[in-house]
Amino acid sequence: MKARHASLTAVGLSLVLLLALAAQVTLTAAPHGPAALAGPPTVLTNFLVGPQPFGLAVDPGRQRLFVGNYAGDPMSTNTLYVFDTSTTPPSLVKARGYISRPWAVAVNRNLGRFYVSSFDQNYILVANSDTTDAIAYPVTGDGPTGIAVDEATNRVFVANYRSNTVTVLDGNTNTVIANIGVAGGPMGIALNPALRRAYVTCYEHSIVDEIDTGLYSVVRHFTYTTYRPSGIAVDPKTNYIYIANSDAYSTDLTIIDKDNNRIVSPSLTVGTRPVGVIYNPVTERIFVNCASVNKVYVVETSTKQVSYILDVQQRPDIGIALDPVANRIYVGNVNSNSVTIIQDGSPTPTATPTATATATAPPTPTPTTGHICVLVFNDVDANGTQAPGEGLVAGAMITITNPFGSVVATYTTDGEHEPRCFGPFDPGTYRVAEKEPPGYESTTPNLAFVPVTANTIITAAFGARIPPPCAADIYEIDDSPAQARGIDTSGTRPQNRNFCLGVSPWYPDDDWAFFYVNASPGSPATLTMRTASLAPMVDTMLALFGPNNATTPYLLAKDDDSGGGFASLITYTFTQTGSYYLKVVDLGFASAATKLKALDQPLPAIEGVNRDYVLLVSGGPPLSPRLYLPVVIKKFKY
C-alpha cells in the first residue's frame, strides 16, 4: 500500500517541511519562517480560586478560564469558578455550585460548551460557555476523571477511574455512544485527532492504553517500569506522547514515539511527583506540574531536555491549561487554593529579506499575513498526488478553522476555478477539513493542518475518486455455506482474498470456506484458523461453524481482533470427524455491537474496494496472531 498524503505547496519554494498531523503532509513554504518566540517562560502572578483547583480549561476565543474546585461544597457557590482572562490577574465572572467533586474541565470552542467531570456522582456537566448555564448531565462510568474533546468530530472522551472504562459522548446530542474497557485506574486522557487516537494513563496498572477513536476499542498497551502515570500530553507535530508518572517518589517523565511505538525516554528527570502535563504548540514546550517540590518544569520538545524550572505555589497538581492566544499557562495549586499564570516567552519580529530600494521608490514593506488555497482533484490512480490529466472534483466541501477554533472560511468546489484562495490570515496553524461529494471516496486524509506564515500562499490539495468496480477474487462466488470453497489445513497454502462491498455483484460479500477434519474424542485434532490484513482498513472477523451441514451450520467459535490489531484467530480442538465451515466478514470502522452481530447476520457495506486479507488454517500448537500481520498498521496515518 502506498502512504496516502495530502499535498500542500507554497509560493517561493525554498523550505520543505514534513508534518505528521493529519497525515504525511508535504509542505513547501516561502522563505519567511514563523515568528520566533524569545525569552524564557516567566511567572506573571498568582490569584486565589476555590478549594483544591483540580480542573482547569481555557476558551481563548471567549477569554474565559474555567476552574473546578474539587473540595468545594456542591450546595454552595464554590465548586466552579469562571474568570475573564482579558485582565491580569483574571477577574471573577461567576461562581456556581454546579457539580460535586469536579475533577477535570474541558472546552469545545466550536460548540461553545464546557464539560466538568463529577468524580463521586458519575456524570459529566455540559454547560454553555457564554452563559455558564447547565445543558445536560450525561451519566458516565464510575469515578470520571480526565476529559478530552475532539473538536473535529465533537466527541468527548471521559476516563472513569473506578470502573476502568472510557466513556464516549456525542457532543452534538450529549448522549453516550460507547464505553471502552481499559486497564486499571484510567486518569488522564489526551487526543491525537489526525491519527484517530486517544491515549489514556492507567494509574493502577502503570499502563498507557491507545484507543482507536473510530473503532472505540483499545489497539495497544504501552507498558514501562515507572509508576502511577497520571497527566498526559500529545505533540501532534511529531506524534510524541509525554506522560507524568506521579508516584510519591517519582521524578520521571516518560516519552513515547508513537510513529515507531517505542519509549524514547523511560525516565527523563523532572521534579518529584510530576502530575499534570501540557504541550504548548506555540513554543513547542512541555510544562510539567511537580507537586512535591512546588515547581513547574519546562521541557524543550526539540531536545527532550529540561530548559527552565519555575517556582509556583503549594502542590501544583493535575490541573494545568493553555491559552494559545495569550501564550499563557495556568497552573492549579491545590494546597494554596490558587492558580499561577506563566507567560511562555514573547513574540519577536521575524527576519525578512531587505527589499531592494531604487532611486524612485522606497523599499517594499514585507506583508505580515498569508493565504490558504484549496482544491480537490480526481485521484484516479489513488496515489495521493495529482498527476497530469487528473482534473478537479466539484461538490466537495471545504472548511478552514483558525488556531483559536473559529471557522474563517467555507467553500464548495465547482471543479473549474480551483485552487480557490482565502485570506489574508494571521500567522498560525490552521485546520483545513474536506468532505468529498456523494459517490466519491477519499484518497488522502480529510484533514490537514496548515502552518500559515507571513508572505506565503499555501495550497492544500485533497484527492478523491469514484471507486472502481471491485474485481472478484478467485474464490467467488462464496457468499453462503453451500458455496464455500475448500481450504488446505497444512498451513502451507493460505488463501489470498479480498472483500467486494457495496460496488460489486457480491454485495454483501461474506466469504465462506470449508475444511475436513478427521477426529474423535479419543483422538482429537487441534487446528488454528487465522486471518491477516493486507490492506490498512480491513478489519476481519472470523467465525467457525459445523460440522456436516452446509444449510444451517451452527456456531462453534468466533473472534474479532484477538491480536489487538486488524487480525482474528481461533484455536479449536475438534473431537468429531466432518466438514467444518469458516465465515469471514469485514466491518471497516463499524461499531463493536455491529461487529458482533455481523458474524451471525447479513452484513451491510461499510467501506469501498481493494480490501485484501489472508485466510490460513494449520495444525499444531496455538499461534499468536501478532506473528501474522504482514502490514505494519502503525505506519498508516488515518
pLDDT at 510: 74
What does DSSP say about strands 15-20 and 7-10: parallel, antiparallel, or unpaired? Answer: unpaired
Residue 313, φ and ψ in degrees, nearest 5:
-95, -160
Query: Is the CA virtual torsion 601, 606, 608, 610 positive or negative?
Result: negative
**Per-residue pLDDT tens for 534-590?**
544 456 778 888 875 545 567 888 876 544 444 678 889 999 888 888 888 765 434
List of E strands, 119-154? 123-128, 134-136, 144-150
Contact 322, 278 (CB under 8 A): yes
Type of residue numbered 524: P
For residue 625, give the 3-state DSSP assignment: helix
Tell me: pLDDT of 633 over 90.
Answer: no
- CA 170 – CA 177 distance, rounded (Å): 6
- For the beta carbon of residue 42, count every other beta carbon within 10 angstroms: 13
% of residues, the chain, pLDDT over 90: 40
What is the pLDDT of the chain when averaged over all its residues? 77
| For the ranges 227-231, 384-388, 474-478, 608-612, the one whose mean pLDDT is highest | 227-231
Weakest mean pLDDT among 3-7, 160-164, 376-380: 3-7
**Per-residue pLDDT tens for 168-208?**
999 999 999 999 999 999 999 999 998 999 999 999 888 99
Contact 321, 278 (CB under 8 A): yes
495: its cell numbers: 488463501
pLDDT at 19: 28
**CATH number of 51-273, picked from 2.130.10.10, 3.40.50.1000, 2.120.10.70, 3.30.300.160:** 2.130.10.10
- CA 332 – CA 88 distance, rounded (Å): 16
**CATH number of 481-635, picked from 3.40.30.10, 3.10.180.10, 3.40.50.300, 2.60.120.380:** 2.60.120.380
**CATH number of 7-34+369-465, picked from 2.60.40.10, 3.50.50.60, 3.40.190.290, 3.40.190.10:** 2.60.40.10
Tell me: pLDDT of 628 over 50.
Answer: no
Burial of residue 127 (number of CB atoms within 10 Å: 0-12, 13-18, 19+)? buried
More confident residue, 388 or 75: 388
Triad 104, 110, 114: Cα angle to 5°:
25
pTM: 0.53
- Contacting residues for 619 by C-beta, under 8 A, at least 6 apart: 489, 490, 491, 525, 526, 527, 528
pLDDT band at 621 (very low <50, low <70, confident <90, very high): very low
- Domain spans, the chain: 7-34+369-465, 51-273, 481-635
- For the beta carbon of residue 322, count every other beta carbon within 10 angstroms: 23
- CA 498 – CA 202 distance, rounded (Å): 38
Number of continuous H segments (helices) and E segments (strands) in the chain: 1, 48
Compute the chain's Rg from CA coordinates: 27
250: its cell numbers: 517519582
Identify the helix (H) or strand (E) that includes residue 596: helix 592-598
- CA 418 – CA 339 distance, rounded (Å): 49
Type of residue numbered 92: L
Query: Is the CA virtual torsion 171, 172, 176, 177 positive or negative?
Result: negative
Tell me: pLDDT of 379 over 70.
Answer: yes
Type of residue numbered 172: N
- CA 28 – CA 182 distance, rounded (Å): 41
More confident residue, 540 or 252: 252
pLDDT at 4: 34
- CA 451 – CA 429 distance, rounded (Å): 4
113: its cell numbers: 460548551
Tell me: pLDDT of 154 over 90.
Answer: yes
pLDDT at 500: 59
Q: What is the rounded end-to-end Cα distance, in angstroms, of the chain?
A: 13
Task: Please give the C-alpha separations between residue 215 and each of 212, 239, 308, 454, 563, in angstroms, as whole numbers.
Answer: 5, 20, 40, 39, 15
For residue 597, give the 3-state DSSP assignment: helix
Type of residue numbered 32: H
**Per-residue pLDDT tens for 118-149?**
998 888 999 999 998 889 889 899 999 999 99
**Per-residue pLDDT tens for 390-446?**
899 999 999 998 887 788 999 999 998 888 888 889 888 888 889 989 888 787 877
Contact 156, 147 (CB under 8 A): yes
Burial of residue 533 (number of CB atoms within 10 Å: 0-12, 13-18, 19+)? buried
Q: What is the Cα 281 distance to its own chain's centre?
A: 16
Q: What is the Cα 484 distance to its own chain's centre?
A: 39
Q: Which residues pair with 254 in a beta bridge?
A: 243
For residue 79, give the 3-state DSSP assignment: coil
Q: Which residues pair with 377 in a beta bridge?
A: 392, 463
